[in-house]
Structure 1
Amino acid sequence: MSVQIETDQDRWDLRWAWALTLVLLGVDWIWAEQTGLVFVGWLRVACVPILLLAIGFLYGYSGRSRRLSDAGHYAALWLAFCAAGFVFTYVAATPAMPLRDAEFVAMDAAMGFHWLAWSRFVGAHPVIQLPLVVAYNTFLPQIVGSILYFAHTGQTGRNAEMIWLAMLGLIITTIVSAVLPAVGPYVHFYGRQTNDIVMLMSLRAGGAHPIALNTLTGIITFPSFHTVIAIIFIYVHRPPSHSFIPVAILNVLMLLSTPSEGHHYLIDLISGAVVAAICIAIVRGTMRPIKRVSETVARAA
């Protein structure tokens, strides 16, 4: 009976997560139409999630492998939501609200943090910078590794938590960044335009040239989504999961790397931690009641 309860809960989580993804895609489409933005390459992006979803259904409904079914379903959902989420960050930048870099620099200074000093310190010590660079770039590998690990070890509930936390985290982060946009300390202090900042400024200026989905990059400064996802990784790998210690160490390094390697203010990290805490509270408060209802229905049956 416990297996059936887990299956019902998982299906509930997946259905609602897909519904949210489709809603976000609808918001993207309407917003892009209103602002004149054109995104190309949808067919290429859709092929992989469709294939993974087919694998999930094949192995799930045939009963051949629950592990492969879970991995296929959650990997497909992650890819689909990432596409919708990245487009959402682009359309949300079009209102072109006033940049807040000066305020963020002042907040950092009030806390005794100076980005230029920290960045130069890290850059002058390769033995410190190398592990930070590596940790910062484990963002995508950790997503893939976590999906496979939780599917392989039968921790499907952790996969559900991770995708829901990431979805809420990206939506909240994007909305906040649209209201309080910034170009980041690297551009603010050095005046150098990176590719993502060029794109951000083009969006703010009303640029309507076609944007290829496979070229989308992160354009959010405040709050730091790297901070949000690092805390999410630590949370979903919490004990009794045996992966907790190595994942916690890796993501503490990711947090330390975010100011220098991700070009973020300290206030970006603090706000990202607040967003992560809010998302964890929401997911803990909603998923547990749903599970209790499923258990009650199963016992009554």
Structure 2
Amino acid sequence: MSIRASIASWTLIFGVLLVSLAWLPFTNVSIVPLSLIGPFAAGIACALLAGYYRTYRAETKLADALDCMGQVMAFMIAGVLLSYLASTLNFPEQDAAFYALDRSLGLDWLAYLKAVDARPWLGTILGLAYASILPQIIILVIVLAFSGRGDAARVMVLAMMLAALISIAISAVLPAVAMFVHLGLTPADYPNLNPGAAFVHVADIKALRSGAPFLVDLSRTEGIITFPSYHAAIALLMLLAGWAHPWLRWPFLVLNLLMIASTPIDGGHYFVDVFAGLAIALLCHVAARRFLAASSFKPATRPAEISPVLAGSQPG
């Protein structure tokens, strides 16, 4: 299964990269070449090392870890570039609609902000959880691969890629800037908090939508997707991946529930962003599991393929 799954994942990654590069000349975006080439080359190098260790050293656990990490590195760059290009489509922003939908569901984002701000210790915990994506992915890939659970790591990585593509497509036609900007808040409104992504993405969004020439350094990009919340999607996918290992199960359950809880504040997301991200993650997890299970299917041996020795030993 590993080889077929790897080929499928890398085909998806190269497909995203080729679409992005073909789209690039028709936008106001240009990129710093090394910021694309460097990380992508590192990802390919990991994949080549994985092939070597799987083929010539029979070290499948190390190969699974290297291949999954290579896919993560390469797709992060290709996916971020695609998300920036999608933002140039400049569809009308939907912040008012998302905020109204939250309120229609009885969800008061400002009350949530004030509740967390009144408990600085909780804001610190949620902020640390929000910033834990990369360490979590690294730990999950390494521990799952080296404990013989490489399939769980591959499901997680493939599901993350699928969820990213769906999130990019939706955010392209339903863009939003996020709650802090929509409500016109300033740090004085939450003196005890330091939200990780309250405003850091705003300058890039405005520049991409302006139509003016914009140079992107892919090593310094920000998450610009508001609806659906990709942060929430990744949290659920990491929770499900951690559940496959008895040592990781409960710590990663708690950590990723905290990450989901942190997303409205530290990510400036509407509650409906979070719900949509979780739904997409669940669908992509199921799709990735089914695809990888299908790729490992081996048809039963046909009667004509039975060994003549075995055939001759059967009663006449």
1:32 and 2:24 matched: yes
Shift of 1:227: 0.8
Shift of 1:295: 5.6
Decide which of 140, 143, 153 is 1:146's aligned counterpart.
Answer: 140
- Which 4+ runs in 1 deviate beyond 4 A? 297-301
Gap change, CA 1:200 and 1:47, over 3 Å in 2: same
What SS class does the counterpart of residue 227 from structure 1 fall into?
helix
Shift of 1:107: 0.8
The residue number in structure 1 matching 2:107 is 113
Q: Whole-Å Cα distance in 2 between the matches of residues 251 and 197 of structure 1?
A: 26
User: Quick check: 99-108 or 234-243, which moved more?
Assistant: 234-243
1:283 and 2:282 matched: no
* Corresponding letter in the other structure for 1:26: L
Contact residue 45 and residue 213 of structure 1 kept, 8 A: no
Contact residue 55 and residue 69 of structure 1 kept, 8 A: yes
What SS class does the counterpart of residue 176 from structure 2 fall into?
coil
The residue number in structure 1 matching 2:125 is 131
What SS class does the counterpart of residue 183 from structure 1 fall into?
coil
Q: What value does the CA root-mean-square deviation take over the aligned residues?
A: 2.0
1:154-184 alpha-carbon deviations (Å, 9 max, x no partner): 1111111011100100000010111111000
Decide which of 218, 227, 252 is 1:247's aligned counterpart.
Answer: 252
1:76 and 2:31 matched: no
Q: Whole-Å Cα distance in 1 between the matches of residues 244 and 17 of structure 2?
A: 35
Tell me the TM-score normalized by structure 1: 0.91
Q: Whole-Å Cα distance in 2 between the matches of residues 291 and 241 of structure 1?
A: 24
1:16 and 2:20 matched: no
Decide which of 186, 193, 199 is 1:194's aligned counterpart.
Answer: 199
1:4-61 alpha-carbon deviations (Å, 9 max, x no partner): xxxxx11000001000111100110111111142111223223422432343233222
Contact residue 48 and residue 76 of structure 1 kept, 8 A: yes
Contact residue 71 and residue 148 of structure 1 kept, 8 A: yes
Q: Whole-Å Cα distance in 2 between the matches of residues 196 and 239 of structure 1?
A: 34
The residue number in structure 2 matching 1:4 is none
Gap change, CA 1:253 and 1:180, over 3 Å in 2: same
Contact residue 55 and residue 68 of structure 1 kept, 8 A: no
Task: Give the number of aligned pairs.
Answer: 292
Contact residue 52 and residue 76 of structure 1 kept, 8 A: yes
Q: Whole-Å Cα distance in 2 between the matches of residues 24 and 296 of structure 1?
A: 35
Unaligned 5+ residue runs, structure 1?
1-8
1:208 and 2:213 matched: yes
1:182-217 alpha-carbon deviations (Å, 9 max, x no partner): 000011112668231110111111132321111111
What SS class does the counterpart of residue 195 from structure 1 fall into?
coil
* Corresponding letter in the other structure for 2:99: V
Q: Whole-Å Cα distance in 2 between the matches of residues 137 and 298 of structure 1?
A: 53
User: Quick check: 201-210 or 153-162, which moved more?
Assistant: 201-210
* Corresponding letter in the other structure for 1:146: L
Shift of 1:131: 1.1
Decide which of 191, 216, 222 is 1:217's aligned counterpart.
Answer: 222
Gap change, CA 1:240 and 1:217, over 3 Å in 2: closer
Gap change, CA 1:288 and 1:58, over 3 Å in 2: closer
Gap change, CA 1:137 and 1:297, over 3 Å in 2: farther
What SS class does the counterpart of residue 256 from structure 1 fall into?
helix
Contact residue 79 and residue 165 of structure 2 kept, 8 A: yes
* Corresponding letter in the other structure for 1:296: A
User: Quick check: 16-25 or 68-77, which moved more?
Assistant: 68-77
Gap change, CA 1:296 and 1:83, over 3 Å in 2: farther
Q: Whole-Å Cα distance in 2 between the matches of residues 37 and 87 of structure 1?
A: 10
* Corresponding letter in the other structure for 2:75: F
* Corresponding letter in the other structure for 2:163: G
The residue number in structure 1 matching 2:193 is none
Gap change, CA 1:26 and 1:176, over 3 Å in 2: same
Unaligned 5+ residue runs, structure 2?
187-197, 307-316
* Corresponding letter in the other structure for 1:180: L
Give the percent of matched residue pairs that are identical in Structure 1 and Structure 2: 29
Q: Whole-Å Cα distance in 2 between the matches of residues 85 and 282 of structure 1?
A: 19
* Corresponding letter in the other structure for 1:222: F
The residue number in structure 2 matching 1:179 is 173
Q: Whole-Å Cα distance in 1 between the matches of residues 230 and 246 of structure 2?
A: 24
